[in-house]
Structure 1
Amino acid sequence: NGEFLIQVEMPKETPIEQTNQVTQEMENYLLRNPEIVSVYTTVGKSGSGFGGGSTSAYLAELSVKLVPAEERLLGSDRYASQVKTDLKKIIPGAKITTAPVGLIGGANQAPIQITLQGNNLDSLLSYSRHLIDVMEKVPGTAEVKSTVEAGNPEIAVEIDREKMASLGLSLDIVGATMQNAFTGNTDTRFKDGDYEYDIRVQLDAFERRNQEDIRQLSFLNRRGELIRLSQFATVTEASGPARLERKDKITSLTIESQVVGRPVGTVGTELQELIAREDLPRDMTLTFGGDLENQAEAFGSLGAALITSLLLVYLIMVALYDSWIQPLIVMFSVPVALIGAFLALALAMENLSIFSMLGLIMLIGLVVKNAILIVDFVNQLKEQGVPSREAIIQGTMERFRPILMTTIAMVIAMIPIAVASGAGSEWKNGLAWVLIGGLTSSMLLTLIIVPVVYRLFDKAIERRRQRQRAQAQLATA
């Protein structure tokens, strides 16, 4: 669709001013490229990629709009990959990732998603790093990352409960005092006429700049004495995850990956086979999401529709031919069409998407038509007294021209859709390639398969009739 996002993550302690300066350098580089129309930057917040709208001074997001597809050589995903490589050279200290833009704006969800669940976050983080290394070995994966990452600087306060109790303090008092110091409270209100305003009371920023300031925090105990935090607690620097995730009340994280240069289904299958060989810790569960999950759900219903369409076509022909055998001969044209459809998708490097599945359902009606032309004409010749073998040969040759004309017309009509490169064209390309491949293979192979199958069934029916006549003669003798 000609748009992509660049997501920037600086070191966690980076102030917003420095993040802004970095994004300005990136803007200057991007806007020098003639393929880029505009760049929209958000500093201090990531709208989608870093946890669905998290706000932090070290995060930034740039939305890049490209010229129309016919005015550039590369697709938006390939161009984004190239831009990322160049920006990493210009901004060596930043973690830069790119993501495609969805149809309704915002970053598209990653096509490959693996969700890990377990009771211990540290174990999940450790195993996720191993899985990321495994995923990066699969060709086609890009921007492999975890939604939960450690390294967020924090100050840990470890309280000695015995000392705290001996000094006349409780966890309620300590917790409330520390909350007031760092986040403040709005228990007090100022009323001005009909309007009320919250008054936030909290510790001055200059008095909570470092560990020593925090150690000097004062708490009022039950006896009215001021007790410092350092008297009953240890204050240390630590690092922890920037965000926490839970699924079904269980600690979880998701590993995401974009796919470039290969079909999502192919990459997903290779990943599933590779991960299946890994030893998953007993206290963890692993599930696949993203496009793999969506395809499985969509293909379940579309697969049922495909089977239903085959059954309906067969039953309608049974009613028209007044036979169970001849519709079965016609249905042999469907497998040869599916071979061509899947081969065309593979050669065009297209995914087996929902639109491709719709193309397969359309293909059934189109390819059955070719077989019907042959079978119906052969039946007419046999009714005129032409022997079976000669009728099959003559009928196939006579019907070759109309089959060729209708197939070529349909294939030529699909070519503009198959090779289209405009905005949103990737949604329709797969459908066109399915029809092109299926119709082409059907045209070539139906002219061989259907006559052969017709002849085999005809011989079997003739032998059965001969046996029945022989048995009837023996019975009357």
Structure 2
Amino acid sequence: MPVCLTSPTPFVKGKQELKISITAEAELLGLTLSDLGKQVRQAFFGEEAQRIQRGRDEIKVMVRYPSQERRLLHNLEIKRIRLHDGIEIPFSVAADVLYDRGYSFIERTDRQRTVDITAEIDEAKANANEIISDMTLNVLPRLLEAYPEVSYALEGEQRDQQEALGSLKQGYVLALLMIYALLAIPFRSYVQPLIVMAAIPFGVVGAIWGHVIMGLDLTLLSLFELVALAGVVVNDSLVMVDFINRARAQGVHLFAAIREAGLARFRPIILTSLTTFAGLAPLLFERSPQARFLIPMAVSLAFGVLFATFITLVLVPVCYMILEDIRQVFSKDGE
């Protein structure tokens, strides 16, 4: 995988320690791991017996093994563990001891132990989204299968990206609803706004193909520009539908009105799209590092408008004719 992983700091080995676990025999006798750990702590760390006030100072009185005995592991091995009924058993019967090194420190989030794994991406070979996708599909499922108690979460840039995409979806739906409402009011129709908005998906297709042609990856800024693109690509459709409605209001036949709209609005629509693309061309071919993050936005807008324009010149007349045919069918059924 073309990434350079950094070593997760929680796995840096710390000092040597004794890891104590309770035996099955001790559990049968009613001893718990908490009781075992508490008695070992009382013997070596101590238990507070009382506090004595001496002037301004407060002195804790701790009961524990003498200093010399606390330094020898042998005293732990010969220690007696007391059960709930007062019977004492040898420490070797109550516990298993493992000599190992602990962690230098442990990080926790919401009471769960966490390990942060970070990586620097070699953008010449892959991007972060491709690597994350490969890990979630191939690597992490095998890890979770081998260790069911482990869970994972994407943080950092990936978390910010997911939150941004979530808000972007809501904003995109809201923008489409506002566009529909603004078109439905002047048209006084619930269907004609859909004809105008039919160019929006083709604008998205054009934006995607623009990234393919330019050899760029879709970025978050590219997706944000798709929301703005939805309000731009409807302009050509709006002009054509409005021209057809005005011609029909003057008594022109439907087919003639559509033909006149194509002839009268062809040049303005083409020039509008071409000038938009030409205005964005300097940014599209800019190679300076300062403008690199803006290029995906320009690609989405330029290629989206250009592709949707040619589709609009065919799609809008066809959809308008289909709409009128459907109206005639329903009007005949009503009669």
Q: Distance in 2 between matches of 1:233 and 1:421?
A: 73
Greater relative contact order (CA < 8 Å, ≥ 6 in sequence): 2
Asked if residue 229 in structure 1 is aligned to residue 53 in structure 2, the reply is no
- CA shift, 1:291, in A, is 2.8
Asked if residue 271 in structure 1 is aligned to residue 135 in structure 2, the reply is yes
Asked if residue 144 in structure 1 is aligned to residue 5 in structure 2, the reply is yes
- 1:84-138 deviation per Cα after TM superposition (whole angstroms, max 9, x unaligned): xxxxxxxxxxxxxxxxxxxxxxxxxxxxxxxxxxxxxxxxxxxxxxxxxxxx2xx
Partner SS for 2:210: helix
Partner SS for 2:151: strand
* Aligned position for 2:157: 291
One-letter identity of the residue aligned with 1:229: R
- CA shift, 1:328, in A, is 1.4
Partner SS for 1:287: coil
Q: Distance in 1 between matches of 2:68 and 2:102?
A: 31
- CA shift, 1:374, in A, is 1.3
Q: 1:158 touches 1:233 (CA, 8 Å); kept in 2?
A: no
- 1:375–1:147 Cα change, 3 Å: same
- 1:239-292 deviation per Cα after TM superposition (whole angstroms, max 9, x unaligned): 554543212111111222333234433443333222464251221112222333
One-letter identity of the residue aligned with 1:265: N
One-letter identity of the residue aligned with 1:250: Q
* Aligned position for 2:224: 358
One-letter identity of the residue aligned with 1:170: F
Match of 2:113 among 234, 247, 251: 251
Higher helix share goes to which structure?
2
- 1:439-475 deviation per Cα after TM superposition (whole angstroms, max 9, x unaligned): 121112111222211111111112333444xx2xxxx
One-letter identity of the residue aligned with 2:115: L
Q: Distance in 2 between matches of 1:310 and 1:466?
A: 33
Alignment of 1:313-462 (within 5 A): 313-462=179-328
Partner SS for 2:209: helix
Alignment of 1:12-51 (within 5 A): none
- CA shift, 1:229, in A, is 3.4
Alignment of 1:157-306 (within 5 A): 158=18, 170-172=44-46, 222=66, 229=71, 232=74, 241-259=103-121, 260-261=123-124, 262-275=126-139, 277-278=141-142, 280=144, 281-306=147-172
- CA shift, 1:412, in A, is 1.8
Partner SS for 1:268: helix
Q: 1:146 touches 1:253 (CA, 8 Å); kept in 2?
A: no
Higher strand share goes to which structure?
1
Q: CA RMSD in A?
A: 3.3
Q: Distance in 2 between matches of 1:268 and 1:393?
A: 51
Rg larger for? 2
One-letter identity of the residue aligned with 2:228: M
- CA shift, 1:307, in A, is 0.9
Q: Distance in 1 between matches of 2:213 and 2:104?
A: 43
Identity of aligned residues (%): 22
- CA shift, 1:237, in A, is 9.6
Q: 2:225 touches 2:300 (CA, 8 Å); kept in 1?
A: yes
Give the paired residue count.
275
- CA shift, 1:379, in A, is 2.1
- 1:238–1:313 Cα change, 3 Å: same
Which stretches in structure 1 are left out of the alignment for 5+ residues? 1-135, 174-219, 472-477
One-letter identity of the residue aligned with 2:111: K
Taking structure 2 as the reference length, the TM-score comes to: 0.70
Partner SS for 1:254: coil
Q: Distance in 2 between matches of 1:434 and 1:237?
A: 61
Asked if residue 156 in structure 1 is aligned to residue 54 in structure 2, the reply is no
Q: 1:264 touches 1:351 (CA, 8 Å); kept in 2?
A: no
* Aligned position for 1:109: none
- 1:237–1:348 Cα change, 3 Å: farther
